[in-house]
Amino acid sequence: MAKLSIAIRAFQKSMAHWGAIEYLLLLAVWAGLSTPFYLHGWGVLSALSLPIFLAVIIGLTYVASRFMGRSAIPEPALKNRSAIRRFPANDSMGIESYFADVDTGKYSGLLQFELNLIKRESAEALTGTFSSHPIIRLLDGFVLDDPETSNHHVLLCHHPFEGQVLSLSHDGDSRVVFSSLSELLVAAKETQARQISLSELHPDVSPCASDQGALSHLIDSLIEGTAEDADVALALIPSMDLSDTKLLEKLATHENFFFGEAVAIEIAKRPSTKLRSIALICSNHSHVQAAEAGEKALGMITD
């Protein structure tokens, strides 16, 4: 079941990166499908064979992904209507000052900029509906906004991420984007000043976790778990400072090629000759998606 879910996610992700070869192959498939209809005089079916084929593939992928429970963000009808989750009483993360500012409403309702930070009461209620989501559950997360894009910003309270803000993305590319609530507010102000989307202010490189040893232990414990555990691990890899080469090698050689791809992507963002051997391992991965990411990482490393 876990391998099937990996295959579904790979198909969905690869469609976003199709090039000329993929579209030529698609045309070849269309020719093969349409020829029998055309020869029998069914011209309309011949012309419609390709869209029908694509609709069936997309429909089957959707049904399979729903069956596997692979939705990154639960649909409203499936959300766990549990009790409201209260923010921690310990204010070491600046929660009180954050909501003193947000509760004024000046960062709310600006959906054209994907900016809709919600008041404390609403955040606690919304978090309760997401309590079954693996990132919310395993990282003690609290939902901070609702920009109506199926993406959310989440305050993390689990060590070693206390106070950091994660971008919870419906397409599976979730990662930490702000080191603190105050950084989120600075970005919210800049969003309004520059008239751009909040997501455009996400840094290319995620802030590193404060305790890399604890992060390595957490990732190592997740990668051999369930498919949901694997999704959480993928969201944490960008927070590594890439110094734990033993774990990096384990990720790069794992049968779940998404781990190797994630490692290669981070090396490409932060190239170093010390990481050349890891990038080489990624480039030799049996799955083309991880191998291509590894080749790109190697190309970014210069002597």
Which of 180, 201, 222 is the last residue in one of the domains? 201
Residues 216 and 122 in one domain: no
The domain in which residue 267 lies consists of 212-300
Give the pairing type, strands 175-178 and 165-168: antiparallel
Q: Are residues 230 and 191 in the same domain?
A: no
Average pLDDT over residues 205-231: 96
In a domain, 129, yes or no: yes
| Whole-number Å distance between alpha carbons of 275 and 95 | 38
227 found inside a domain: yes
- Say if residue 57 is in the same domain as residue 154: no
- Asked whether residue 34 is domain-assigned, the answer is yes
Dihedral (CA of 25, 13, 9, 78) sign: negative
17-40 average pLDDT score: 68
Q: Do 116 and 33 have their domain in common? A: no
Residues 60 and 130 in one domain: no
Q: Do residues 172 and 107 both lie within one domain?
A: yes
Tell me: do 85 and 193 sit in the same domain: yes
Average pLDDT for 259-282: 97
Pair type for strands 175-178 and 141-143: unpaired
pTM comes to 0.75
pLDDT band for position 58 (cuts 50, 70, 90): low
- Residue 84 and residue 194 share a domain: yes
**Same-domain status, 223 and 285:** yes
pLDDT digits (tens, 9 = 90+) for 79-112: 444 468 899 987 889 999 999 999 999 999 999 9
The CA distance from 181 to 99, in Å, is 10
End of a domain among 201, 230, 250?
201
- Number of domains within the chain: 3
What mean pLDDT is predicted for residues 197-223?
Answer: 97
Quickly state the pLDDT bin for 270 (edges 50, 70, 90). very high
pLDDT at position 213 is 98
Note whether residue 206 is domain-resident: no
Alpha-carbon distance of 25 to 46, in angstroms, equals 17
Lowest-confidence range among 18-22, 36-40, 219-223, 233-237? 18-22
Identify the pLDDT of residue 2: 43
Whether residue 188 sits in one domain with residue 252: no
Which residue did the predictor score with more confidence, 27 or 120? 120
Cα Rg of the chain, angstroms: 22
Residues 194 and 80 in one domain: yes
pLDDT at res. 68: 44
Residue 46 has pLDDT above 70, yes or no: no
Q: Which tens digit of pLDDT belongs to each residue from 108-167?
A: 999 999 999 999 999 999 999 998 999 999 999 999 999 998 899 999 999 999 999 999
Helix locations, the chain, DSSP H: 2-15, 20-39, 43-67, 95-102, 120-129, 134-138, 181-194, 212-222, 227-236, 245-252, 257-269, 276-283, 288-300
In a domain, 270, yes or no: yes
184, 131: one domain: yes
Domain-embedded: residue 207: no
Tokens 């110094």 identify what position? 243
User: Last residue of some domain: 166, 201, 236?
Assistant: 201
Q: Is residue 242 part of a domain?
A: yes
